[in-house]
Chain A
Amino acid sequence: MKKVTDFHVVEVQHLSHDTFIIVLQGTEPVIAVLPGQFAEVEVPGSPEVFLRRPLSVHGCDPVAGTISFYVKVVGKGTARMSELLPGEKVSVIYPLGNHFTILEEGRVLLVGGGTGVAPMLMLANKLKKAGAEPVMIIGGRSAADIHISDAYHAVAEMHVTTEDGSLGVKGRVTDHPLLKEEFNFNRIYTCGPDPMMKALSAIAREKGVVCEASLENTMACGFGACLCCVVKTTDGHKCVCTEGPVFDTTYLENW
């Protein structure tokens, strides 16, 4: 059941000059969000920003009544969001979209690139709880892009790649040995830039495993009313907001 409801800002944790985690407290009981689902978040006090912003849910704790988002400043909306103060009211429509499917056994690979790391901690927690063995690769341009807390290490075997080699394996996530000779996984879960996810999809196909990718797209509504956020699938145009954001990549055309 989706709803539109008010939250209050608890805090904005700045991870770097352009990346932050925003934590919100519900004014009503918080609905449990599944890994990969997203929310349409209002940007208050910014007349130039007309639409809500679709954001992948980073964390959700119905007991504490909180929800959090991992955000990178890319425009006016996210810039304003980074300046929100504790106590400010933010309207949120959630939970939206489908979610990653949870395997109950075997080694699984989670790959997050850039802000695509957003749903990965929740996903790893869920997978581990279900009985799978999560291994995660986080990729960025440099060490400054990588923000891994103890919570990640507690739940998954962690690996890092940076393009400049300042942390972990030098190169892109697909240069990591785990995606080459050491590949030994039942499934790939990924979220990040399209070229990265397409490369992972190709590897999954070659290895004969399923690749689930969470797509990002420009949306007006987030719940299937506007038909703006389409992706071309083997079955025609589908809305990323309702049929996704998570897709088995074999279903996507030209992947």
Chain B
Amino acid sequence: MADLKIDIGGLLLKNPVMTASGTFGYGPEFDDFINVSDLGGIVVKGTTLEHREGNKYPRMAETPAGMLNSVGLQNKGVDYFAKHIYPAISHYDTHILVNVSGSRVEDYVKVCEVLNELEGIPGIELNISCPNVKEGGMAFGTSCPSAREVTKAVRAVYHKHLMVKLSPNVTSIAEIAKVVEDEGADSLSLINTLLGIAINAETRRPVLSTITGGLSGPAIKPIALRMVWQVANAVKIPIVGMGGIMNATDAIEFILAGASAIQVGTANFLDPTVTIKILRGIEEYLDRHNVATVKELVGAMECC
């Protein structure tokens, strides 16, 4: 039986299968379907300093091989999370990372200060790539100076694992990755959604209330693989890959491209048990290829 354990920048995962923020709620939504503690880690819904109502309905459009969303970080704020949600999920025997977002650098900092105090939260995923909020979010992750500023400010106050989630809506994702690594990130997760539009030809109106939204699902997988590979060649810190992973083969492809672990996102909506199927599939692949540890497979794509 292959060894599935993997160390991502000091965070030891029992296996490389995590869930992507915004696609897994806080975990209990999946209790009827799977044993959440079987996963390598979960990343809970984007959390901001203040309560946010999110964007107006409609927030979702189905597209060929994917979907657009513009939820807009609906959440009850970090204090509510710490008081009411955290106690209800801290029993999970897996790493719970909180995805942190905001409109201002000082907001990110305040959220991280609160999360620092929660013993059962070993790390955060700094979201500098949400495309669905008017201010902040993706704006931080699309230029090197602002990515540097927010990572630096958070690193100064946050002492546990700092994963930074990168936006694909940039000219060079490797440049952003290097800046974030310089500022002390422990790992990188990529990619967030790609900015897109869906239009209803009959009504001549955009489908989403926000006009643009974030594209996810298998449609974006080749782009995500390319970006994981580019970033893996540019930085030394571990990468958590995501973007259209629907099955174990997709997950293996991300690992071969250079990801140490993976996050499953949109696939959770189609099959709430998919994460466990992917986990079993990775195990089966490693055994079939006589690979003793997941680690050996990281970045093992053979180009010539």
Interface residues of A, Cβ cutoff 8 Å to B: 1-4, 42, 47-52, 91, 93, 217-232, 236-237
Shortest Cβ gap from A46 to chain B (Å): 11
Which residue of the partner chain, among A50, A226, A231, contacts B69 with CB atoms under 8 Å?
A: A226
Of all chain B residues, the one with the shortest Cβ separation from A236 is B53
Residues of chain B within 8 A of A237, CB atoms compared: 53-54, 74
Shortest Cβ gap from B202 to chain A (Å): 12
Q: In the bound complex, do residue A50 and residue B66 qualify as a contact, i.e. CB atoms below 8 Å apart?
A: yes
Shortest Cβ gap from B105 to chain A (Å): 26
Which residue of the partner chain, among B24, B59, B270, contacts A230 with CB atoms under 8 Å?
A: B59
Q: In the bound complex, do residue B71 and residue A223 qualify as a contact, i.e. CB atoms below 8 Å apart?
A: no
Q: In the bound complex, do residue A227 and residue B71 qualify as a contact, i.e. CB atoms below 8 Å apart?
A: yes
Indicate whether B268 reaches chain A with its CB closer than 8 angstroms: yes
Q: In the bound complex, do residue B67 and residue A51 qualify as a contact, i.e. CB atoms below 8 Å apart?
A: yes
Indicate whether B65 reaches chain A with its CB closer than 8 angstroms: yes
Indicate whether B145 reaches chain A with its CB closer than 8 angstroms: no
Interface residues of B, Cβ cutoff 8 Å to A: 22-25, 29-30, 32-33, 45, 53-54, 57-67, 69, 71, 74, 217, 266, 268-273
Q: Is the interface of B mostly helix, strand, loop or mixed?
A: loop
Bound-complex Cα distance A91 to B277 (A)? 15
Q: In the bound complex, do residue B269 and residue A221 qualify as a contact, i.e. CB atoms below 8 Å apart?
A: yes
Residues of chain A within 8 A of B271, CB atoms compared: 4, 91
Q: In the bound complex, do residue A50 and residue B54 qualify as a contact, i.e. CB atoms below 8 Å apart?
A: no
Closest 4 CB pairs of A and B: A228-B60, A221-B269, A2-B32, A220-B269
Most buried by A among B45, B54, B66: B54
Q: In the bound complex, do residue B29 and residue A225 qualify as a contact, i.e. CB atoms below 8 Å apart?
A: yes
Q: In the bound complex, do residue B33 and residue A3 qualify as a contact, i.e. CB atoms below 8 Å apart?
A: yes
Q: In the bound complex, do residue B60 and residue A219 qualify as a contact, i.e. CB atoms below 8 Å apart?
A: yes
Shortest Cβ gap from A150 to chain B (Å): 37
Residues of chain B within 8 A of A220, CB atoms compared: 60, 67, 69, 266, 269
Of all chain B residues, the one with the shortest Cβ separation from A50 is B62
Shortest Cβ gap from A229 to chain B (Å): 8
Most buried by B among A3, A42, A226: A226
Which residue of the partner chain, among A3, A218, A222, A225, contacts B23 with CB atoms under 8 Å?
A: A225
Residues of chain B within 8 A of A2, CB atoms compared: 32-33
Which residue of the partner chain, among B22, B33, B61, B273, contacts A226 with CB atoms under 8 Å?
A: B22
Bound-complex Cα distance A219 to B24 (A)? 15
Which residue of the partner chain, among B32, B62, B268, contacts A221 with CB atoms under 8 Å?
A: B268
Residues of chain B within 8 A of A93, CB atoms compared: 272
